[in-house]
Chains A and B, each alone.
Chain A
């Protein structure tokens, strides 16, 4: 017995997908075009939350959770802390040369977007044969530690070295108390 028809479920799902896409792109635009850096970081967090929704539509809920935990919870908060510590000046000094260069960058990036979207639209994207329909967290863990075990270990080494390096760089030049 179906209480809701499958058509209305499809329309609801499409609507939520459109909302998540809009959130992603809107957050990216806010992150790029706002004058104040605190709004940029908030736009970045908004964009990442929208992307987490898109990951749900791509059948990868584990990635959606990781996206929110790592990007929104860790990286955006870390950027905000640094902004409080370093208090960057936010006056975008307006110069005619800068405005011309910004317009040139906008034109170039728009051309790049049009070319890439044309490429996406013209290719015929064949359906491939798949041997598993969904990737569970168990599958991800098995692949992560079997097939990609070396990369996993290397990345943990990179993270360790990066953390030690960050502490060293941030401490260097500090006056002896």
Chain B
């Protein structure tokens, strides 16, 4: 394994996926706005997708399965993002703020 043929091994992809997951996890704790937390969640999902595709390329006997499941993750991420953004718009209309700390009451 040299620097130039890194792309033919599974480990570099897994390390990039780990970095994406950890950066996203830190961003989830660090961001102060709900949109920032949504962005970090997308990074976590991206790390998971990269992991799936890398495993299906190098480890699985069938290279199709990981790609199909990554397509499913993309669909679920789109659904999740649309719901969260609708919640943000509704929250801004009611509170004039998208700061997560303003959501501190449960009155319906």
Binding site for B on A (CB under 8 A): 10-11, 13-15, 17-18, 21, 24-25, 28-29, 31-33, 37, 40-41, 44, 47-48, 51, 54-55, 57-60, 62-63, 66-67, 70-71, 74-75, 78-79, 82-83, 85-90, 92-93, 101-102, 105-106, 109-110, 112-113, 116-117, 120-121, 125, 127-135, 139-140, 143-144, 148, 151-152, 155-156, 158-159, 162-163, 165-167, 169-170, 172-174
Contacts and interface: CB of A to CB of B under 8 A. Distances in A.
A161 B9 CA distance: 40
Interface of B: 2-7, 9-16, 18-27, 29-36, 38-40, 42-43, 46, 49-50, 53-54, 57-65, 67-68, 70-72, 74-83, 85-94, 97-99
Contact of A148 (B27, B68, B85, B97): B68
A129 B61 contact: yes
Contacts of A71: 42, 46, 74, 77
A135 B72 contact: no
Nearest to A158: B79
Given A44-B39, A86-B92, A125-B11, A60 B53 contact: yes
B88 to A, nearest CB: 6
A58 B93 contact: no
Contact of B99 (A70, A89, A152): A89
A17 B97 CA distance: 42
A16 to B, nearest CB: 9
B26 A37 contact: no
A15 B65 CA distance: 29
Main DSSP-derived SS at the B contact region = helix
Contacts, number: 238
A18 to B, nearest CB: 7
A158 B39 contact: no
Contacts of B27: 31-32
Contacts of A169: 83, 86-87, 89-90
Given A14-B6, A74-B78, A29 B23 contact: yes
A128 B59 contact: yes
Contact of B23 (A28, A57, A89, A170): A28
A85 B35 contact: no
